[in-house]
Amino acid sequence: MNKAKIYPWIFAVVFVLFVIIPNGVASNEELLWTHEFNDASWVSISSNGNYVAIVGNYDLWLFNNEGKMLWTFSLRNHSYVFPDGVVVSQDGRVATVVATSDERDWHNHILFFNRDGKLLRKVVKSSGYGHMDILVSTDGNYVVVNDELRIFCFNKNGREIWHKGHRDDGDAVPFRSIAISADGNYVRADEADNDSSYFYINNGERLHNEPKYCKWIYEETVSLDNAYKVEIHGDKILFFANLTTILNLITYADSVIEKEKSKGFVVAEAESLLSQAENAFSSKNYVKAKELADKSYSLATDIDQDGVTNDEDFAPTIKNIYIYAGTPFALLVLAALTKVSLDVRKRRKIKVRIQKEDKRTQG
């Protein structure tokens, strides 16, 4: 039997016997880092688990999954700031909703930031319809915001794509909450009368029925693969790693590598990354272990990293862009060679005709 196939399973069994069982079921979660904040109100984790966004009454923060603060933004320039939520996309873009008041009315400010903390856009909506929820699609391309009677959908830069009032028939039953499907294709709006409406996220078109086989995400405090979780406890933000999930990712990457090897693909680089992932896990560097496991899986299934899986790639070891980019050049060369060939043949025919004319004249 192949020893490479046995090792990950031994690794998994040892982990269960000496880590999970002795310490109880809860030991599959490990606290990786914590930070204290005076006024942390809302927290969100990106779908890939790489970023954590936090908003309080006066400030907004972005952290990476190792607990390093990447930037902070002060909200103190607004009077009576009350945060209503925050989201962060898988590429580190942040959006938050904060309510402010002037002498006449309340307003909701939806702020959009790039990964470096630059404010890209501020959208102001009247807040006469209560608290606003905010969610971001798993691919980070859409941000959806709602209050009791309206839903707004924005692109990742803060440009409004569509909005919907409550029910086309004018029924004023308020929205209770919103959710986005895990595949990022649909928006669900749950209503106070226990009914729900469904929309395509890209254009706001209403669906007649609930999409099948959808996992709905109502809050973004757990990464999509369940490897990381973030929580607020009093004045503290706690960031956890799910060790069982990360171990499963390592084991799954190993099985995929073996499968690709059996097809004849050379996956030595993926195997090297997997070995590094196992070592990082043994050293309790769980963030690095997951990162390397994800990379090894990606490299095993797409050797040239051109976005096309090995099975569907007609040249799996060469990036398709090089092939496609080379095609016009190859066609030009072929055309030039063809022209040269035709010119040579034409000159030969003319030469033969001249020789025949000379012989006929001399005869």
Segment 326-360, tens digit of pLDDT: 556 555 655 665 555 555 555 555 555 656 555 55
Contact status, residue 282 vs residue 293, Cβ threshold 8 Å: no
Using 50, 70 and 90 to split pLDDT, how confident is the model at 247?
A: very high
Question: What tokens were used for 313?
Answer: 């790639």
Query: How many whole angstroms separate alpha carbon 314 and alpha carbon 267?
Result: 17
Q: What gap in Å lies between CA 300 and CA 278, rounded to an integer?
A: 16
Mean pLDDT over all residues of the chain?
82
pLDDT at 20: 46
Nearest to 209, CA basis, from 219, 220, 195: 195
Please report how the helices 3-15 and 268-282 are oriented relative to each other, as an axis angle in degrees rounded to 10. 20
What are the domain boundaries of the chain? 38-234, 248-312, 319-363
d(CA 313, CA 352): 50
Instruction: Please compute the mean of the pLDDT values over residues 261-276 and round it to a whole number.
Output: 93
- Using the predicted structure, report yes or no on whether residue 207 has a pLDDT greater than 60: yes
**pLDDT higher than 90, residue 160:** yes
Sign of CA dihedral 300, 301, 306, 310: positive
**Does residue 32 carry a pLDDT above 70?**
yes
Provide the pLDDT for residue 23: 44
pTM of the shown model? 0.78
Question: What are the C-alpha distances in Å from 182 to residues 87, 144, 211, 249?
Answer: 15, 14, 12, 19
pLDDT bucket at 128, cuts 50 / 70 / 90: low
Query: Which architecture characterizes domain 38-234 according to CATH?
Result: 7 Propeller (2.130)
- The more confidently predicted of residues 242 and 310 is 242
Give the residues across from 229 on adjacent strands.
222, 240
